[in-house]
Amino acid sequence: KEADQLPPHQSYDCPVNLLSNEKLQVGQIYSLSELELAVLWDFIDKNLWKGFIRTSTSPLAALVLFVKKKLGELHLCCDYLKLNAITVRNRYPLPLILNQVVGPTQVQLCEDLS
């Protein structure tokens, strides 16, 4: 079943910051067949309407390719390799998953002094 909405935005939504001293590279442009263009525009229209994607203000674009699945369907692939190369990496320690699932616990220690 396809989702019809995204979960609400949370405090951990992060922007993608680019390295300021890196030169933006222009990539190759590949032509798409009529079928691929139709699938691409259908994907864009459907996901813009749902709010899953929005118009970009980025000076960069990602390469879009299609890969055929076993049953002949077209699978949309975005190549973010060049964008990832100039993205500022956020290096924050990840919380322990067990602490997030179980939550904080209190431990009581008792010693027998007799």
CA dist 103 and 106 (Å) reads 10
* Cβ proximity of 41 and 34 under 8 Å: no
In degrees to the nearest 10, what's the CA dihedral of 54, 28, 59, 92? 80
pLDDT exceeds cutoff 90 at 41: yes
Going by pLDDT thresholds of 50, 70 and 90, the confidence category of residue 13 is: low
Please give the average per-residue pLDDT across 49-66, as a whole number: 82
CATH code of the domain covering residue 27 = 3.10.10.10
Res 36: pLDDT = 93
Range of the domain at 107: 1-113
CA dist 22 and 87 (Å) reads 10
Please give the average per-residue pLDDT across 46-50, as a whole number: 89
pLDDT exceeds cutoff 90 at 16: no
Least confident stretch, 35-39, 76-80, 94-98: 94-98
Work out how many domains the chain is built from and give that number: 1
Please give the average per-residue pLDDT across 72-83, as a whole number: 87
